[in-house]
Amino acid sequence: MSSYFTDLAQQYIDGEWRPGTGSWDIIDFNPYDGEKLASITIATVDEVDEAYQAAARAQKTWAATNPYARRAVFEKALRIIEDREQEISEVIVAELGGTFLKAGFELHLVKEFLREAIHLALRPQGRIIPSPVDGKENRVYTVPVGVVGVISPFNFPLLLSLKSVAPALALGNGVVLKPHQNTPIVGGSLVAKIFEDAGLPAGLLNVVITDIAEIGDAFIEHPVPKVISFTGSDKVGRHVATVCAANFKRAVLELGGNSAIVVLDDADIDYAVDAAVFSRYVHQGQVCMAANRVLVDRAIADEFTEKFVAKVRSLKVGDPRDPQTVIGPVINSSQADALSGVVEQALAEGGTALVHGTTTDNLVSPSVLTGLPADSELLRQEVFGPIAFLIPFDGEEEAVSIVNDTPYGLSGAVHSGDIERGVNFAKQIDTGMFHVNDGTVHDEPIVPFGGEKASGVGRLNGESMLDAFTSLKWISVQHGRSGFPF
């Protein structure tokens, strides 16, 4: 495992592994024990430019490559991940503080998305569209956009990098990837290594490990990329969208959430408890789809609450390398401090802690809070950590109103003994995704993934990848002579 943090602690530009030329280093720490994993000299604006220019040069030949030949690269990348799955899992645990359960969950999805990328290489098809003009043939071609810039987050960095990188490449584009500073290896250079070993031509995929303190908006302002795919907070996403609009770029934004899981009065309570605990506490709650809010019909609230609290108390907190651990560390100390502040604020506002978590270094144990005033801003914002807000309600109409009372609209779930009652409830929620009798955390390769309101713009997965990473080109052919008015 240590070789990953030594060999891959570099930039990857135009097929070469090389150090950055910036004046400072990004230090990669294990969030559980503080061990220094790697030191990476950051990329400068010049290196961002070199990466984009390399991608632009390589992309023309790649786009003209037979899609069956392109497909072979993704088939090999999948085999590489399958062969190295155990060591990659160990790297995920070390760099993210994710548990082995989480690493397995992430790698399962990574393999599924690579399988979809294999098929995606053959998906673009041309069309011939009728014309009102005699003798005219309208051809519509699906073409690559050219170069895509990808900015990935720290929570599922391998998945959320590959989720944009692989389809963009499969569809004939070049890519420059900027991983999050806290996960430069898993989210960045590991992706480059996988594709390098899979035989991807040099220059097509470049990875720049850097910070906006060094490069400002250069990554998104650069004239080469036509699409920026960003996954992260709505605050940063708003800025990305603004810069992209000013530069006539397409922005695909997968942003934060404030999902709710709703337990109606006819739900299977034990099953709903299991779904709610997983939906809130998977990967320490550092998931955009996580259920910040747990809404329970007042008729069953006492029984649900008792069982929910008991299950939360049973979750093992500690070393993510221990297979029994469910709750590992959050990504860094500022995140841990912010979560402590959320609990303190909730109590100051009159909330009650049914489970009062503690913070030791980056280990934040679970909290369950209830009794917050209905107008509390804590109920409307994303809380990226192991804190659940329990909210009782009286009837479906009130539940719908509470769920929608947030700037976000990413995911959610409802539990009911009547499936169609659950579906009708789901239709009333302003989200891009909603699940009946399940958890809130789901992703599948061919279903549209994305949110409404402040949770993002655009969709990924399946056919949506064509909307994200290709463009349409109309070429008309006039058979015979056309008539002109003068």
Q: Catalytic residue positions? A: 254, 288
Amino acid at position 178, single letter: K
Under a CB-based contact definition with an 8 Å cutoff, are residues 110 and 160 in contact?
no
Query: For residues 12 and 189, is the Cβ–Cβ distance under 8 A?
Result: yes
Closest by CA to 203, choosing from 66, 52, 71, is 52
- Can you read off the two tokens belonging to residue 135? 């003798």
* d(C-alpha 166, C-alpha 120), whole Å: 9
Q: Which amino acid is at 201?
A: P
365 neighbors 285 (Cβ within 8 angstroms) = no
Tokens of residue 387, six digits: 């804190």
Token pair in block for residue 474: 């109309």
Q: Using CA atoms, how far apart are residues 177 and 149, in angstroms rounded to an integer?
A: 6
* Residue 353 Rama label (left phi>0; alpha psi -120 to 50; beta): beta
